[in-house]
Every structure is written in C-alpha cells, then in structure tokens.
Chain A
Amino acid sequence: MALDIYAQFNLHARALGLANQRLELLADNVANTDTPNYKARDIDFSAAMQSAGGLGGDLPMAATRPGHIQAGTAGANTTTPLYRVPEQPSLDGNTVDSQKENAAIAETAVRYQATLTFLSSRIRGMRDAFTGGR
C-alpha cells in the first residue's frame, strides 16, 4: 500500500485553515464590538468543510456548456464570510453579540486543538511506521 502523505494531512490542513479564518473573523467582530454600523460576520463551518470535500458527497456538477456556472468551490481553503443575523437590535447599527462571539471563539479553539491532536497522532503513527516502533 502506497503511503500518500498529502492525503494523510490534506483534510486536517484544510480544517486548520478554516478554523484559522473563522478565528480571524471572530477576532474582528470582538475588535469592533463598539464600532457604529459594524456588521458581525461569520462562516458556516460545516458547510465549508463539506465544500472542501471533507464530509464525502464530493460530486461536482458537470459544466457541459460555456455558460454553465461551476457550483461550489471544491478545494478552496477559505470560504466567503456571511453576515450574522442579529437577535437584538441596537441603536448604533452594530450587530456584534459579544456572548455569541466568545462562545464561537471557544468552540473554534476546541476544534482547532482537536485537529492538532489528530494531526499529532497521525504524525506519531507515521513515525512509528518509519522506524518500526523503535
């Protein structure tokens, strides 16, 4: 069985990239908690992972004519941020909900650490395979 290092790390690398992008957006939201008219943004993590080919079902639509639009961006490492729907109106037009942001940051940090744990155990497994467990 050939060892495909790229395939071994690819998915986790994408997950790290996405978590990274999400953390950046959330940090932006927290930074702009008091900026008038700032609209909070976030990405849909599971949808992004799906479009990155992480959760199976990776069948691209056939584009048989020049006018056809390619659906999805399989393989993209970043995804387009969306604006969050505010739950409480605020007088200055700001839609940041700091509780939500903090919860999302905690969640993303845990996801990131989980991916790191997966990656380290994968690296350890490969190293064991190379050295014969010595």
Chain B
Amino acid sequence: MSLSKIFDIAGSAMSAQSARLNTTASNLANANTVASSAATAYRSRQPVFQTVMDNSAGMDPASAGVRVAGIVESTTEPARVQDPGNPLADKDGYIYMSNVNPVEELVNMISASRSYQNSVEVLNTSKDLLMRTLSLGQ
C-alpha cells in the first residue's frame, strides 16, 4: 500500500522543519550573547535541506521526502562593540556580538511553521483516504 509511503514523506518533512525550528530557536536565544573574540562569537546556524532520492520503487526518478544534509554557520563577521565594562571584553575593551539577524530568524520561523502545517495537512488527508480504503466494502 503506497499511501503509507506518504506517511514517511510527510514525516521526513515534519522532522526537517522541526530541525529548522530548532536552529531558529537556538539563534534567537543567542541573539544577544557576546564573546571575547570573533572566533568564539555565536554565529547563526541554518539547516541545509536535501531531497532523499529513492530509485528502488521502479519509479523514475523517485524521491522520498527530505532530510537535513547539514547545518551551516553564517559567515558574516560578528559586530565588534566597544564596552570596556563588560567582564568578557578583550584587552582593548571590545566585545563581539553574535551575528544573528532576528528579523531573518522570525521570517524563518514563520516559514518553517507553515511548511510543517502543510505536511500535517497532507498526512491527515492520506490518513483519511487510507481509513476509507480499509473500510471499503463494509
């Protein structure tokens, strides 16, 4: 029964989107963290999505959902701020802010939650169809 394959596909999408929500939450939580050097400053993290290809079913070219291929860190330089009173300030009195852009993160969050809802909708639709198919002829 290949309707149940849709559960796998929608499930993979939900898991990928929740990974995205996770990184967004982490980025927003660390939006105001500071560090003593540019190398140790928090950098915003973004997941990279990739289609899972599955050619076993004979369908060509069949794919079966999505996965998180990896998480990349933003390469934007962290902002350097003069704040000698901060206990984390370096010897010249500078602290390094995280490079998280809160507006970007909020947009990401909305997009992820909408995509998640779409996948739930797909899952519900195919579940209804499967239940009706199971009760066929009764």
| A112–B125 alpha-carbon span in the complex (Å) | 11
Contact across chains for A78 and B122 when beta carbons are under 8 A apart: no
Contact across chains for A27 and B9 when beta carbons are under 8 A apart: yes
Contact across chains for A120 and B137 when beta carbons are under 8 A apart: yes
The reply on A128 being an interface residue by CB < 8 A is no
6 further A-B contacts with Cβ under 8 Å, apart from A32-B13, A34-B115, are: A28-B51, A32-B66, A35-B49, A102-B118, A116-B136, A120-B136
The reply on A38 being an interface residue by CB < 8 A is yes
Contact across chains for A27 and B122 when beta carbons are under 8 A apart: yes
User: What are 30 A-B contacts with C-beta separation under 8 Å?
Assistant: A16-B133, A20-B3, A24-B2, A24-B3, A24-B6, A27-B9, A28-B65, A30-B10, A30-B13, A31-B12, A31-B13, A31-B16, A31-B119, A32-B13, A32-B65, A33-B13, A33-B115, A34-B111, A34-B112, A35-B51, A36-B48, A36-B49, A81-B59, A105-B121, A105-B122, A106-B125, A109-B128, A109-B129, A113-B132, A116-B136
The reply on A48 being an interface residue by CB < 8 A is no
Contact across chains for A31 and B10 when beta carbons are under 8 A apart: yes
Contact across chains for A24 and B49 when beta carbons are under 8 A apart: no
Interface size on A, residues (CB 8 A): 31
With A28-B63, A28-B65 as given contacts, are A33 and B50 in contact (CB-CB < 8 Å)? no
| A16–B132 alpha-carbon span in the complex (Å) | 12
Question: Which of A20, A24, A35, A102 makes the CB contact (< 8 A) with B121?
Answer: A102
Interface residues on B, range: 35 or more
Contact across chains for A123 and B119 when beta carbons are under 8 A apart: no
| A124–B13 alpha-carbon span in the complex (Å) | 39
Question: Helix, strand, loop or mixed for chain B's interface?
Answer: helix
Residues of B within 8 A of A23 (CB): 3, 6, 125-126, 129
The reply on B28 being an interface residue by CB < 8 A is no
Residues of B within 8 A of A46 (CB): none
The reply on A15 being an interface residue by CB < 8 A is no
Contact across chains for B9 and A31 when beta carbons are under 8 A apart: yes
Residue of B nearest to A33 (CB): B115
Residues of B within 8 A of A106 (CB): 125
B36: min CB distance to chain A, Å: 35
